[in-house]
A and B are shown apart, each in its own frame.
Chain A
Amino acid sequence: MTLELDARQRALKQMLEIRLAEEKIQELFLANLIRGTTHLAIGQEAVAAGSTAALIPGDKVTCTYRGHHHALALGMTLRGMMGEMMGKATGACKGKGGSMHMTDATIGLLGANAIVGAQLPIALGAALTAQVKKTGNIAVTFFGEAASNIGAFHEALNMASIWKLPVLFICENNLYGEYSVWSKTTPIQNIADRAAAYNIPGVMVDGQDTEAVYQVVKTAADRARTGQGPSLIECKTYRYRGHSRTDTAPYRKPGELDEWLQRDPINILKERMIADGQLDEVEYEELRQAAETAVVDAIEWAKNEPFPALESLYADVYYEG
């Protein structure tokens, strides 16, 4: 199952924007325009682009602090994201969230979470709403392979299975949980195998291939929408950068990054579109340029936006009214 032309174009544009935005975000950190920490998803773009291509309006998503790609693929504006990165009043979360908490309720993004695994049970709740209200919508929750070692993962898969909730558990196995290669912390080969313990389908897919991701997510989504319950999908992928901004990833095996670069998710889709006569190098370069322009525009815009008024510190602790 391949994507239609317009969906391929959309995915390619998304992935280029994600890639360029992430690279710029790293620069902004080094220039001290962004504080704290950040977790880049460079190399994992196809997971976000492929998965979100299978979603429909009303579907809900929770994700992780390495979640800029999910947010942009779902439709968060570059300006909203860059504004939030810089803690500006007009950022996606009015400056209250930052890099690790990208949230946009208007596009179904219920929030990126800075606690490993915490977003899984929250997605169950969105799925419960869809089930009780019979909306035909689903919830999707993204997490890394290391999150499959935390209790919330197991509680969430178990309860979702018992209740047959319309929720997809999408694992981005990028091989590293923070600074540790996952084989050191996890006694099984494939995270997808954990699905068996909860009597739900567990599917593995090449996480660098946008359309392969789309295909398995679409199949699982159709299943969930028709009351057949949750699925666990393991996307085999790779993060090109370290865990967070100060990590240069010295723990990687020599040559490992180069091997993965040979299977770059943007290149895979690009080459496929060229082979199918849907794209040429000139058009690709135009797309890349347009993405770069959009990213730069968002950054320049965000730089000039105001910080939140200090009174806003006390706003939205509670809903008033």
Chain B
Amino acid sequence: MPEMTYREAVAKALADELASDPDVIFFGEDVGEAGGVFKVTPGLYERFGGDRVRDTPISEQAIIGTALGAAITGLRPVAELMFADFVPVALDQIANQVAKYRYMSGGQFVVPLTIRAAQGGGNGFGTQHSQCAESWLMNFPGIKVVSPSTPVDMYGLLRGAIRENNPVFVLEHKGLYNLKGEVPDDTAPMNLGEAKVVRAGSHVTVVASQLMLHRALEAAAALAKEGIEVEVIDLRSFVPLDKTTILQSLAKTNRLVVVEEAPHQAGWGGDIVSLAADEGVYWLAAPVKRVNMGGALIAYSPPLEDEVLPNVGRITRAIRDVLAA
């Protein structure tokens, strides 16, 4: 079974979709001849040519608007925003245009558009190159949002997103690009909207994603040695949200911890807690906990960045807290 990195999974998914559908095109800043600033897309320009793999100016509004216009006229574009921190630079096109184009026309258009962006902290990129974008994007109905945590999901969800007839953000965590994992040759494009229980347990449910998922798994492995069985859910898809998987787990464990790489206020974890309160409250045996960045911003200095992002210690403490309650 072939093993590849998360980075290679992105490139393979793009290459496979470019090869399978002539309407797929791919563009962004430095994605062509340079192969991407994270070296995620080398070889695509050479293989598919400059007509279908294009370098753009540093013009995020033009990139997203052009991708939208292409999507509603017969192409299936994949646009890259490089850093997810650039989402706000193109926010009009994302929030007012991409998200609403189908709706405000009364359904006249399908918008088969994929937007990729690299997100997340932990690498010393400072406060404007380290943020996660899910919570921003979730407030715009009309857009779907997925955040793969493993190479196989990266491959399958990116291909699924490109085939989707709706706008999809595929958020890639920079801290996972070197993560290796098996990606079977027959991995098919995956459906969006499905969470996955990646570690079964009966005492407490932890919902997390990407870098935080891997930290939660680390915490769960350590706690298992004490006989604490943590069920870990990889959310994978933020929109649509897989309520069923979360509620089924809650019904089993009766306890919930949400780990977000995001500020607390209006963070996506609030939606998970709201789900638990609305539809799972009678299963809850303890108050829920959110582990996140609180009200702080990401700082450059290593100890400060280490402190703001939820780490294994903070996740472990939250799990112990809800178990003690």
Which residues of A are interface residues toward B (Cβ below 8 A)?
60, 62, 91-97, 101, 103-105, 110-111, 113-115, 118, 120-130, 132-133, 139, 151-152, 155-156, 158-159, 162-163, 315-319, 321
Asked if B202 is at the interface (CB within 8 A of a chain A CB), the reply is no
Write 18 A-B pairs (CB below 8 A) sorted by A numbering.
Answer: A91-B106, A94-B107, A97-B104, A97-B105, A105-B72, A111-B101, A113-B97, A120-B65, A122-B69, A126-B72, A128-B25, A129-B74, A132-B75, A155-B61, A156-B62, A159-B57, A317-B103, A318-B166
List, in ascending order, chain A residues with CB within 8 A of B57's CB: 155, 158-159, 162
Asked if B69 and A125 sit within 8 Å, CB to CB, the answer is: yes
Asked if B62 and A155 sit within 8 Å, CB to CB, the answer is: yes
Which residue of chain A lies nearest to B71 when distances are taken between CB atoms in the complex?
Answer: A125
Asked if B108 and A93 sit within 8 Å, CB to CB, the answer is: yes
Asked if A128 and B165 sit within 8 Å, CB to CB, the answer is: no
A104, B104: Cα distance in complex, Å? 11
List, in ascending order, chain A residues with CB within 8 A of B56's CB: 159
Asked if B259 is at the interface (CB within 8 A of a chain A CB), the reply is no
List, in ascending order, chain A residues with CB within 8 A of B75's CB: 125, 128-129, 132-133
A125, B65: Cα distance in complex, Å? 7
Q: Tell me how far the C-beta of A9 lies from the nearest C-beta in chain B, rounded to whole angstroms.
A: 30
A124, B25: Cα distance in complex, Å? 14
Q: Tell me how far the C-beta of A202 lies from the nearest C-beta in chain B, rounded to whole angstroms.
A: 19
Q: Tell me how far the C-beta of B93 lies from the nearest C-beta in chain A, rounded to whole angstroms.
A: 7
User: Within the complex, which residue of A104, A118, A129, A316 is in contact with B65, where a contact is CB–CB below 8 Å?
Assistant: A118
Most buried by B among A115, A121, A151: A121
Asked if B110 is at the interface (CB within 8 A of a chain A CB), the reply is yes
Asked if A318 and B69 sit within 8 Å, CB to CB, the answer is: no
List, in ascending order, chain B residues with CB within 8 A of A96's CB: 103-106
A125, B166: Cα distance in complex, Å? 16
Most buried by B among A97, A103, A319: A319
A121, B56: Cα distance in complex, Å? 13
List, in ascending order, chain B residues with CB within 8 A of A94's CB: 106-107
Asked if B104 and A93 sit within 8 Å, CB to CB, the answer is: yes
Which parts of B23-66 form the interface with A (CB within 8 Å)?
Answer: 25, 51-52, 54, 56-57, 59, 61-62, 64-66
**B interface bracket (residues with beta carbon within 8 Å of A):** 35 or more
List, in ascending order, chain B residues with CB within 8 A of A122's CB: 65-66, 68-69, 72, 97
Asked if A132 and B25 sit within 8 Å, CB to CB, the answer is: yes
User: Within the complex, which residue of B59, B69, B96, B111 is in contact with A319, where a contact is CB–CB below 8 Å?
Assistant: B111
Asked if A103 and B104 sit within 8 Å, CB to CB, the answer is: yes
Which residue of chain B lies nearest to A314 when distances are taken between CB atoms in the complex?
Answer: B141
For the complex with contacts A126-B72, A316-B103, A319-B166, 7 further pairs of A-B residues with Cβ separation under 8 Å are A118-B96, A125-B67, A125-B69, A129-B70, A317-B102, A317-B141, A319-B110
Q: Tell me how far the C-beta of B139 lies from the nearest C-beta in chain A, rounded to whole angstroms.
A: 13
Asked if B165 and A103 sit within 8 Å, CB to CB, the answer is: no
Q: Tell me how far the C-beta of B45 lies from the nearest C-beta in chain A, rounded to whole angstroms.
A: 15
Asked if B166 and A101 sit within 8 Å, CB to CB, the answer is: no
> When A and B form their complex, which 4 residue pairs have the shortest distance between CB atoms, in order from nearest?
A125-B69, A121-B65, A94-B106, A316-B107
Asked if B166 and A128 sit within 8 Å, CB to CB, the answer is: no
Q: Tell me how far the C-beta of B220 lies from the nearest C-beta in chain A, rounded to whole angstroms.
A: 34
Asked if B300 is at the interface (CB within 8 A of a chain A CB), the reply is no
Asked if B106 and A93 sit within 8 Å, CB to CB, the answer is: yes
A28, B166: Cα distance in complex, Å? 36
Asked if B62 and A158 sit within 8 Å, CB to CB, the answer is: yes
Q: Tell me how far the C-beta of A308 lies from the nearest C-beta in chain B, rounded to whole angstroms.
A: 9
A96, B103: Cα distance in complex, Å? 7
Which residue of chain B lies nearest to A114 when distances are taken between CB atoms in the complex?
Answer: B96
User: Within the complex, which residue of A121, A151, A319 is in contact with B64, where a contact is CB–CB below 8 Å?
Assistant: A121
